[in-house]
Structure 1
Amino acid sequence: MKMLSRLVVGVLCLMLTASPAFSAGFALIEQGVSNLGNAFAGGSAIAEDATTIFFNPAGLTRLEGQQAIAAIHFIKPSAKFDKDRAENVFSTPSAPAPINGSEGGDAGKLGVAPNLYYAINLDNGWAFGLGINAPFGLATEYDKTWVGRYHAVDSKVLTVNINPSAAYRINDQLSVGAGVSAQYIEAELSSMIDFGLQAAQLNAGFAPLASNPQADVFADLKADDWSYGYNLGLLYEVTKDSRLGMAYRSRIKHELEGDADFEVPSAFLAGFPAGPGVTLATIANSTFTSQGVRGDITLPASASLSYYHRYNPRWAVMADVTWTEWSTFDKLLIEFDGTLANNPSLTTENWDDSWRYSLGTTFNPNESWALRFGLAFDEEPIPDAEHRTPRIPGEDRFWTAFGFGYKFNRSASLDFGYAHLFVKDSKINKTAAPGTEDAGRGTLVGTYENSVDIASLQFTYNF
């Protein structure tokens, strides 16, 4: 039974380093189609339709009557990993065991982000609106036998933001706005656990099981939460053709709760005795039981400054700079409610605040058509290769975008936008060493080839 006790303790320590953690994922700026073609330049200053509810609620005072918008965005990231090496610590750091498996293929998965907006101007200085959107999201997927399986298998993060807003025109030039956000988050994160490695480190007789996919335990965490925040905006109309917008969205802290489920390869592990009347299957099944899980994540605040100027009836230009407070994502603490209650998982992230810069132009050949073009540079908050994970293998992004808008009549219009994001190749350098958070997940060193494509449609109706 001494062997049983040592192995249980060892497996619990392995869960500390191998359990997947909740992540904020990518921030989604795709909250409207009408200015996707401008690469979202001038987002808080354009204020030409109800999508201003998200970008700057003060812009509601520029709209007339009532307006409803339905939009949908198709977001396809690509993330292809090229391995330099993958290995796990076995016995001593000087004798690593290789981890076999594929390089994972393309981990990027198609994501769909809808937006709904409604705005009404009361013609007495007041305007109101309601927006429903998805400000954060993530989807990556690998098979259960790839070389980085102990770091990540599936990663899915979904948010839904319900954002009622109000705006007031103080005078002919200045408007202010504010809104509240009721935000839902749902996360599902999974990985494999190298149960065979832990057994091999405690008993050399189990050496063939180290990083053996047949001995891996599949861990799947699902959790969700509702929380609340706010947003503020100011719009200053310098002239009838020029305006300056400023907007701020608050942090939102989520306290997620859910369940951790495990799949143990009982039939395979039953063939390995670990003591009198005890097999590795006995130990694994008594350790990896379904249980509650909880973890906090603070989604970042953001602030933007935008400028819009119309030179003449045909040409307009716009620019934007946006700051996002990703430094809120400094660490992740995951706590369990069952057999792993005394072994919380702590992962260091150390993300940095990031900046986004964009420029755009719109050409109106006539009253019905609007042709849009834009460029942007988006900084990646992940500080270095040591803190990058297969769940979010991003890097700095350069946007090229175009789109069009067509007015069928005074009531109805259609907008289309497309953007391709050239993403810098990203390095990952996760190193396994005894006592570190990657000791159970293994060394994973290599390069990701990344890109993102976005295509969006929006229908607007005025009444």
Structure 2
Amino acid sequence: MQNGFMRVTALALGIAGALTLGNAHASGFQIRENSVKNLGRANSGTAVARGDASVVSNNPAAMVNIDRATVQTDVSLIDLDAEFTGGGNTALPTPPAAPLNGNNGGDPGDLTAVPALAAVFPLSGGLDKVTVGVSVDAPFGLATEYDPNWVGRYHAIESDVKAVNLNLSAAIAITDRFSVGLGAIIQRTEVTLSNAIDFGTAVCTRSAATPAASVANCLNPAYPFRPQANDGSVSVTGDDTSFGWRVGMQWRPTDRLTIGAAHRSEIDHELSGEADFTVPGNVAAIPTIAAGYGDTPVNAPFTTPSVTTVSVQYDFSDSFRMMADWQGTDWHSLQAVQIFRDAGGILGNEPFQWKDTNYYAVGAEWDFSPAFTLRAGVARDESPTNDTYRTPRLPDNERMLYSIGATWNVSEALTVDAAYTRISIDSPTINNIHSSSNSTLSGRFEGHADLIGIAAQYRF
């Protein structure tokens, strides 16, 4: 039972939980940083953006706003600063429980670059109402790593996720004021994670006929197998390539008002990979224990959520405009992750019980001169997690975003963008969460994130 639970937790948290751990710049494991212009407005106006090739990904109908072949590259640097305070206990069958040792894990978030590339091509001749585009971006992902000896090592050490979309989009200008767009998505997802395993507790709790005798063995300093004295580890990898779609529209009811809406579909994955275990030599010599921790191929169905965006822009003058966004993410697709052996049979079920979330943003742009545009924005981002099911692999909570940015029109063809966002995060709590070794961990995370973006665009 414990062996099966450990493997379930390792892959379930690896696939779903590792996708969110430390992802402080968006709720859940979502990444919105595919445009530095959008970053400078706190991601307001994403579905009606003008002169921004990222609309290939955000709303293909808005590609009609671009009248020349355009290539754009964006890079956002994400720096998460987080600290855990708390502790936990090993999984003894009856009290007294042994407290977990170790440090607070350090800062799990290193400086991470999130690149994006987009190109838009208005067609001509008989197809002059059609615009096509292609983009590559990362809609989901993270890279975090705790100290291997931290107090929560049985819950998580390393989490590395890469989800990359190749987007192919087309737009048609039905009239001068109304356009529609359609896109295809090819999504590649790769996951790697690791955590420690408390083999000492696993052995001593199963080494006697009664719970009281098991506890006596676990607390006996002379017994060779004691809690936290015989750690091993597990590393889980999984990957898959799958397909999705997006649709969008843009409407300008007046010369000053623009409304855009877009929907990105859910994308179903069948992640497959390996669970690789490192078992201490003295534990490996016990057949009844070691047999449950052999390397094994695993798979899990997993769905990335659908996202719906509505944007509004109003031009108060030729040089000043404001934008607002609402974005809904359908996280209900992540209620649980079921894990299966490739050889057949279910290993178990990891509950998450995530809720759908809303993102609200307001921003503004001011053309300071023909050469420079200044922008700013503020946003509120809801979290899909809850106090009952939150784990240290996904210490997510509500957050506020404060952004500034600028564009330099170097020439008629070349522009350069820069932006900065500060994210403040409501402190998430972790309470009595079971790890791969059935230990518990309780505490609080404190942290914030800084995002810096730079981009260049060339129009042919």
> TM-score, with normalisation over the residues of structure 1?
0.89
User: Residue in 2 aligned with 1:238?
Assistant: 253
User: Residue in 1 aligned with 2:97?
Assistant: 96
Aligned to 1:387, what secondary structure does the other structure show? coil
Change (3 A) 1:11 1:50: closer
Aligned to 2:61, what secondary structure does the other structure show? helix
CA distance in 2, matches of 1:41, 1:10: 47
For the aligned residue pairs, the C-alpha RMSD in angstroms reads: 1.9
CA distance in 2, matches of 1:218, 1:129: 45
CA distance in 1, matches of 2:244, 2:39: 25
* Superposition deviation, residue 143 in structure 1: 2.2
The range that moved more, 31-40 or 192-201, is 192-201
For structure 1, the residue ranges without an aligned partner over 5 or more in a row are 1-8, 271-278, 433-437
Identical aligned pairs, as a percentage?
31
Aligned to 2:47, what secondary structure does the other structure show? helix
Aligned to 1:457, what secondary structure does the other structure show? strand
User: Residue in 2 aligned with 1:334?
Assistant: 339
User: Residue in 2 aligned with 1:320?
Assistant: 325
User: Residue in 2 aligned with 1:391?
Assistant: 393
CA distance in 2, matches of 1:207, 1:129: 63
Aligned to 1:34, what secondary structure does the other structure show? helix
Change (3 A) 1:461 1:439: closer
Aligned to 1:421, what secondary structure does the other structure show? strand
| Counterpart AA for 2:200 | G
| Counterpart AA for 1:216 | D
CA distance in 1, matches of 2:79, 2:132: 33
Say if 2:339 and 2:346, in contact at 8 Å, map to a contact too.
no
| Counterpart AA for 2:40 | G
* Superposition deviation, residue 450 in structure 1: 1.9
Equivalences for 1:300-319 in 2 at 5 Å? 300-319=305-324
User: Residue in 1 aligned with 2:269?
Assistant: 254
CA distance in 2, matches of 1:223, 1:16: 14
For structure 2, the residue ranges without an aligned partner over 5 or more in a row are 21-28, 208-213, 220-224
Q: Select the residue among 421, 441, 447 that pairs with 2:444.
A: 447
User: Residue in 1 aligned with 2:181?
Assistant: 177
Aligned to 1:235, what secondary structure does the other structure show? strand
Equivalences for 1:189-200 in 2 at 5 Å? 189-200=193-204
User: Residue in 2 aligned with 1:220?
Assistant: 235
> TM-score, with normalisation over the residues of structure 2?
0.90
Equivalences for 1:38-437 in 2 at 5 Å? 38-83=41-86, 85-92=87-94, 94-123=95-124, 124-203=128-207, 204=214, 206-207=217-218, 209-212=225-228, 214-266=229-281, 268-269=282-283, 279-280=285-286, 282-337=287-342, 344-384=347-387, 386-432=388-434
| Counterpart AA for 1:174 | F
* Superposition deviation, residue 353 in structure 1: 0.3
Say if 1:18 and 1:441, in contact at 8 Å, map to a contact too.
no
| Counterpart AA for 2:67 | E
Say if 2:403 and 2:420, in contact at 8 Å, map to a contact too.
yes
| Counterpart AA for 2:450 | D
Change (3 A) 1:44 1:299: same
Say if 2:199 and 2:283, in contact at 8 Å, map to a contact too.
no
Say if 2:365 and 2:373, in contact at 8 Å, map to a contact too.
yes
User: Residue in 1 aligned with 2:210?
Assistant: none
Aligned to 1:114, what secondary structure does the other structure show? strand
Say if 2:167 and 2:184, in contact at 8 Å, map to a contact too.
yes
Say if 1:21 and 1:332, in contact at 8 Å, map to a contact too.
no
